[in-house]
A and B are shown apart, each in its own frame.
Chain A
């Protein structure tokens, strides 16, 4: 079975700073997807970024980038130039490459961006 661990329950930074959210996972699969989801106070689940395990290049989406270390089973999210709208709960998630598309989520990190 796969597990996903987010060891930082809460984080807080000042606006415009850079912040890194940590995620580790455990799996015996060789091919899989990793995701970061954002959940603002509206409760909507928003996909921030996706990484395919077979790709060595780290995914980036504007101010969001990941540091994917496959051997270490680590998948951290870096938010650059943080904005007040980045305040949200962030979830790391795992999905096997084939078979039922079940998402396995971490516990979540509550991120607060302070003005």
Chain B
């Protein structure tokens, strides 16, 4: 039981490049979400999903795309990276209706 797995752990991108942050969970959780962590701002919700095929925007969705084709996976796509997207990204999952959230180890992304 690996829990929530994020890859990669670190990434450096050039402005304008695209990439996908991977998130996988093996707990059969319906709910999955992506947060970004910036100094002095805590964690802010980017996108979330309540099940396969269902996604919605969070507080800071601009510049990010998501899809949920399976229960297990919830990738986050940056289509054209910008320096403002330099941050630490966390994926989290939980059962619907239960408050316990399980977090991945985070991805530190730097856009130069």
Contact = CB atoms under 8 A, between A and B. Distances in A.
A103 B50 contact: no
Contacts of B31: 100-101
A106 to B, nearest CB: 5
Interface of B is mostly: strand
Contacts of A44: 103, 105-106
B40 A9 contact: yes
A60 interface: no
Interface stretch (B16-24, B76-84, B88-96): B88-96
Interface of B: 31, 33, 35, 40-45, 48, 50, 56, 58, 88, 90, 92, 94, 96, 99-101, 103, 105-106, 108
- 10 shortest interchain CB distances as A-B pairs: A105-B42, A45-B103, A105-B43, A43-B106, A33-B99, A107-B42, A101-B31, A106-B42, A108-B42, A102-B45
